[in-house]
Each structure stands twice: as C-alpha cells, then as structure tokens.
A and B are shown apart, each in its own frame.
Chain A
Amino acid sequence: MAQEYLLLDIILWFSIYLIVALSLNIEYGYAGIPNFGRALAVLIGAIAVGGVVNRILILLLGIEGRGIIETSGTLKSTVNAMISQNPLLGLGILVLCLLIAALMGAVTGALFILPSAKLRQDYLAITLLAISEVLFLVSNYNTSIIGGYYGVSIPDVLAFVPGERRFLAFALLGVGIALLVYLFVERLLTSPYGRLLKAMRENEDVVKAFGKNILVLRIKTVALGSAIAAIAGAFYSLYSVNVIASTFFRVDWTFFPFLMLLLGGMGNNRGVVLGVFSFVIVKVLLIVYKFEIKSTLHLPFEATWLEYILFGVLMLLILYYKPDGLIKEKPVTMTPPIKHALKQKAKETSGR
C-alpha cells in the first residue's frame, strides 16, 4: 500500500511539474525569456480557484459568513455534498477553474512581461523575480485575497470518488491534463511559431531585421506560458482542497522548474519530460527517505535541508558539466513540408 502511494505521489508530482516545466520551456527554452517569476503564474492559478471561483460559488449559492476564510469552509462542505450526489457538477467546477486560471494567467503574463520592452536578459530576470516576490508577499499577508497565511478551503471536485480512490483519480486526471498540455506545446513549438521563438532566443536583431515585432512576440509567448503554468497552480490547489499563498514559494515553483529544464535539456520537450521525471523521482525519494539517509550518512545538518542542498549542487554540476542537459536540442528539420520537399527533389534528381 505504501509503495502504491509512493508511485501515485510520483505520478501526481510528475504531472504538475511537467505542466510548469513545459510552460517555462516555451518561455525560456524556446524564446530565451528568463522568466524568474514563474511562481507568480502558478500562484495566479491558485488565486483563480481560491479567490475567484470560490467567490463565484459563494455568490451563486448565497452562502453567508465573515470573510473568505470562514465562508470558504462552509462552501466546501456544501459543495462537496452536492458533488458527491452529482459528479457532473464537480467536473464542471474543475473545467471552470482551469479555464479561469488559464485566462487570468494569460492576462497576468502579458502585463508581467511589459518591462521587457526596456530591459534585457539579466535585468529582466531580476525584475520579473522582484515582481513575482512582491505579489507573493501581498497574497501571503493580505488575508482578503486568498486568506493569506491562513489560506482558504476549496471544494473537492472529485468528492464523488470514494476516499481510497481519490488519490488515484487525481493522479490519472493530472496525467491526462499534462498529456494534453504536452501535445499542445509540442504542436505549437514544432510549427513556424516555435522556430521564430528559437530565432528570437538566438538573435533578436535578426528577427527584428526580418520584420517581426519582438515585444508582441514576447507578450504572446509569456501570456501562453503563464496560462499553462496557472493551470498547474489551479490543479494543484484542487488536489490540495485548500489554497495557502506560502505554498507557492519561489524555490518550488521557479527554481525547481528551471532545474528540471536544465537537467533534461532546454528547447526540446522530450528533454523536459526526462528532466521532470528524474527530478521528481529524486525529490519524492528524498522526502520519503531523508531521515534514513541522514542517519546512515551521519549528516551534520537537519534532514529537511538535504533536498535544497542536493538540488543546488545538482544545478551547479549540470551547468558546469552538461550545459545542454540530458537530451541536446536539435534543429527541427524533418517536418512534413520539408520531408515532402526532399522527396520532390529526389524525384527530380532521379528523373534527370
């Protein structure tokens, strides 16, 4: 049973982190935009669920109470009872949450990247990190948005699933959403749009010289990436059945996704999948066995810090010894039109 939970935990975290890492791959891996504020878009997804959908449901159901913290508790028990009788309601709320999260993520992302009109690379990265941190602190200390450090409760959209199968259902749902996101991102990035993003990453002057508006491209790209990351934030909140701002800390939702990207290899989605998978396996095993590891290795510090230290060292090692990651980026030269053109050429050559 314990092993089954361990496996489900790996699957669930793999799904959530894959969505976030893919969003970052669009922005940083392809477009070269150093979005050190990834955690913000994930937090926006949580705000969409805990702050927006919660309030919509409170209004619709006429639930009364003092403030969002208290009212959300009542809402949760009321809606859970309804969903256990009517699964479609749960699925409807799930879809609504993901849609609103994506929309809010896109709008936030588009506004968030505006400083890039004046800033490049490292200055932009620091500015985005700062904006993300400010909004994180506001959400954490202002209890009227999503309950601040107290948090808010969220209805269980899978309340109709028997308790012992809930974890499995969420894991499968996570895999399904991650798969859809993967197919979407893969299609997008193997099209001329993906090529243009890579071109922008390689040399902005060339892209400008050939008539492309860099700022518009950046806005579109970060809006897309942030929408996807917000979906991950919303899904994670729905699984947790509560939202607490402090959960959306920069280490977990910005630093770790960057590490996964670097580990797997940027600019190709297969690399991202491998990076996320390797990371999640190590992370989950470290969480489960950290005390055993500490006592076996006689570590001179608290086991809690082991995860951070190991991942920090891992990032340095990758940057130093394997900067291209486990799977190196390759040019996309075998798209259907190119294959077709090559066949035509081969025919012409043999016909001569």
Chain B
Amino acid sequence: MEYGNSQPTPSSGASALVTQRLTKNFGGLRALDGVSIDVAKGSITLVIGPNGSGKTTLINVVTGFLSADDGKVVFEGRDITNKPPHEIFQMGVVRTFQNPHPLKKLAVLENLLIAEPGYGESVLQSFTRRWVDKEERLVKKAFDILNFLGIEHLWDEQAMNLSGGQLRLLEIGRALMCDAKLIIMDEPIAGVAPALSHSILKKLKELTKSGISFLIVEHRLDIILDYVDWVYVMANGRIVAEGKSDEILKNPKVIEVYLGAQG
C-alpha cells in the first residue's frame, strides 16, 4: 500500500477531520508532500515521526496558522482549508503548541479562563453584570480541570513561575477548558511525569466516549501507544505508514524511518 497518495483509511466510524493531499513548501523545502489523514470521530489518532518530518507543520496547516499550498482540510464535512485560526477554533477545533505558550504575566486560572469561546470580546458586556454569572461557572470548571491536572494549588501563580512540566499541564488544561470537538495536541506529555501522563491520557480516552476526537503528535511511544486508536507515521513530509497502535511498530518502514532514525 502506498501511503499519503491514497485516500486514507479511517480506523472506524465517521470522520472528524480529513486532510487530502496536503502540501506545504517553505522555499525549496517541501515540508508536507501530499499528506492525507483521517481522524475518526471519538478516536485518538497519533502522528509520529522523526524530528523534521512535518508533524508540527501538519498541525499548523490544519489549524490555519500556516496556509496550505495545495490539498484540502475538511472538518466534520466542511472545508476549512486556509481559514484563519479563530474561525477554525469557532468550528470546534483547538490546538496546543509544541513549546508551551503560557500567558506569562497572567495567573494560571486566568490562562484557562481565556479559552472560553467568544468570552471577553465584548466591550459593552464589561459594563453589565452578565459576565459575572458566566465567570462564576467558568471559574468552577477551571478549578475542576486544575484539580484533575494536579496544579490546583498554583491557581493564582503567574504562569511565568511554572516549571516546564507544569506549563505542559497548563496547555492541556486550556485545551480541555473550551469544549472543543477536535483537540489537536503537539507533544502533550513531553516533560510530564509518567504517572501523571497516564492519568492525562486516561482522561483523554474517557473524553472520546463523549464524541471528542484527538489528533496527537508525541514522541513518548512507551506511554502513549496503549491509548491511541490509529497511528500515522511521517517522514520527509509524507505519510509512510499507518495502522493500529499494536501493529505499527512491527512495520519495517517504521523501524527504518522512525525507530531507525532514533537509534
């Protein structure tokens, strides 16, 4: 089977996100070369590959942070190719970043509160009491998420004082805050302790039952593979293999391009 040039094979059920022959060039470098993937609704789909294989570029193109040179991105049947990031979010897609992007001078709690869709954009609402009621509900939700992530005690700490691992948790917390339909995460458990990584992934797995889909880029295969439904392997901007998590590591191409490159 030739990967990336064919229509993708969804792991099961309807698709949340489909990319079709997505291409992105940076000058002479082809970062994405006809990438087609399918993220099934209510699944966790993993993208792996060595550094520089195009995983983060794929996320950036899907979420509108970079424009595609060719190909299509379809979310829940709607073409979202090259739409601006805020419009893609409003359709129900949220992302986290490879390097945590904390709002440094804001408190941890405030970092979560800005994730609510459409919240805080109205000047007029600042002068009514309407936001107070909404904020009470949001604060409660944010505390629940912080509690789950084990950083509730840091709620009033400025984000710039957090450690690397805590910043990862903050990224995850923000993504969980906004009730998105598709959550795209770039290395969510890098730098997070194994025990907490497992409980985060268990939580994500739990969320898939309510129909939320996840597209995750991650290197820590020893931890994450048990939780994912479908895996795509990228190298040099192409999808070179795909399959179920328990089979993918046996694929000789994967061993060659991914594990081989690491080893």
Q: Are A and B associated in one complex?
A: yes
Measuring CB to CB, which residues of chain A are less than 8 angstroms from any residue of chain B? 187-188, 191-196, 198-199, 202-203, 205-214, 216-217, 220, 224, 267, 329, 331-333, 335-338, 340-341, 344-345
Of the stretches B134-142, B187-195, B247-255, the one at the interface is: B134-142
Check B101 against A203 for contact (C-beta < 8 Å). yes
Check A191 against B131 for contact (C-beta < 8 Å). yes
Check B95 against A333 for contact (C-beta < 8 Å). no
Which residues of the partner chain A approach B105 to less than 8 Å between Cβ atoms? Answer: 198, 202, 267, 329, 331
CA distance A267 to B110 in the complex (A): 15
Q: A210-B94, A210-B115, A341-B136 are in contact. Are A333 and B123 (CB under 8 A)?
A: no
CA distance A208 to B114 in the complex (A): 11
CA distance A269 to B189 in the complex (A): 39
Check A333 against B115 for contact (C-beta < 8 Å). no
Most chain A CB within a 10 A radius of its CB, from B89, B102, B136, B174: B136
What would 9 more interface pairs be, CB under 8 Å, given A195-B110, A199-B114, A331-B158? Answer: A191-B126, A193-B123, A202-B102, A203-B103, A206-B114, A209-B65, A209-B95, A210-B114, A210-B178
Question: When A and B form their complex, which 10 residue pairs have the shortest distance between CB atoms, in order from nearest?
Answer: A192-B120, A211-B89, A191-B126, A331-B107, A337-B135, A196-B120, A341-B139, A202-B103, A208-B85, A337-B136
**Chain B: interface residue total (CB-CB under 8 A):** 47
Partner of A187, one of B118, B127, B133, B138: B127
Q: A191-B125, A205-B101 are in contact. Are A338 and B109 (CB under 8 A)?
A: yes
Q: A205-B65, A209-B63, A331-B158 are in contact. Are A217 and B126 (CB under 8 A)?
A: no
Q: How far is the CB of B231 from chain A (nearest CB, A)?
A: 25
Check A196 against B114 for contact (C-beta < 8 Å). yes
Secondary structure call for the A interface: helix
A224 closest partner in B (C-beta):
B123
Check B135 against A192 for contact (C-beta < 8 Å). yes
Flag whether B227 is at the interface (Cβ < 8 A). Answer: no
Check A333 against B136 for contact (C-beta < 8 Å). no
A334 closest partner in B (C-beta):
B156
Check A338 against B103 for contact (C-beta < 8 Å). no
Check B123 against A199 for contact (C-beta < 8 Å). no
Flag whether B132 is at the interface (Cβ < 8 A). Answer: yes
Which residues of the partner chain B approach A211 to less than 8 Å between Cβ atoms? Answer: 85-87, 89-90, 117-118, 178
Check A193 against B103 for contact (C-beta < 8 Å). no
Flag whether B148 is at the interface (Cβ < 8 A). Answer: no
- Binary contact readout B55-69 vs A (1 if CB under 8 angstroms, 0 otherwise): 000000001010000
Which residues of the partner chain B approach A205 to less than 8 Å between Cβ atoms? Answer: 65, 97, 101
CA distance A323 to B126 in the complex (A): 30
Which residues of the partner chain A approach B136 to less than 8 Å between Cβ atoms? Answer: 337, 340-341
CA distance A207 to B95 in the complex (A): 11
A331 closest partner in B (C-beta):
B107
Which residues of the partner chain A approach B132 to less than 8 Å between Cβ atoms? Answer: 336-337
Q: How far is the CB of B157 from chain A (nearest CB, A)?
A: 9
Flag whether B106 is at the interface (Cβ < 8 A). Answer: yes
Flag whether B44 is at the interface (Cβ < 8 A). Answer: no
Q: How far is the CB of B148 from chain A (nearest CB, A)?
A: 14
22 A-B contacts, Cβ less than 8 Å apart? A187-B126, A188-B126, A191-B125, A191-B127, A192-B126, A193-B126, A195-B106, A195-B113, A205-B101, A206-B97, A206-B114, A208-B84, A210-B94, A211-B86, A211-B90, A212-B121, A213-B84, A220-B123, A267-B105, A335-B135, A337-B138, A338-B139
Most chain B CB within a 10 A radius of its CB, from A188, A335, A341: A341
Check A199 against B103 for contact (C-beta < 8 Å). yes
Which residues of the partner chain B approach A344 to less than 8 Å between Cβ atoms? Answer: 140
Partner of A202, one of B94, B106, B125, B133: B106
Q: How far is the CB of B131 from chain A (nearest CB, A)?
A: 6
Which residues of the partner chain B approach A195 to less than 8 Å between Cβ atoms? Answer: 106, 110, 113-114, 120
CA distance A172 to B206 in the complex (A): 63
Check B156 against A331 for contact (C-beta < 8 Å). yes
Check B121 against A193 for contact (C-beta < 8 Å). yes
Check A208 against B86 for contact (C-beta < 8 Å). yes
Which residues of the partner chain A approach B114 to less than 8 Å between Cβ atoms? Answer: 192, 195-196, 199, 206-207, 210
Q: How far is the CB of A188 from chain B (nearest CB, A)?
A: 5
Which residues of the partner chain B approach A208 to less than 8 Å between Cβ atoms? Answer: 65, 84-86, 89
Check A193 against B107 for contact (C-beta < 8 Å). no
CA distance A217 to B104 in the complex (A): 20
CA distance A341 to B141 in the complex (A): 10
Flag whether B163 is at the interface (Cβ < 8 A). Answer: no
Flag whether B262 is at the interface (Cβ < 8 A). Answer: no
Q: How far is the CB of B189 from chain A (nearest CB, A)?
A: 19
Which residues of the partner chain B approach A332 to less than 8 Å between Cβ atoms? Answer: 107, 110
Check A333 against B107 for contact (C-beta < 8 Å). yes
Partner of A331, one of B110, B118, B127, B135: B110
A197 closest partner in B (C-beta):
B120
CA distance A210 to B133 in the complex (A): 21
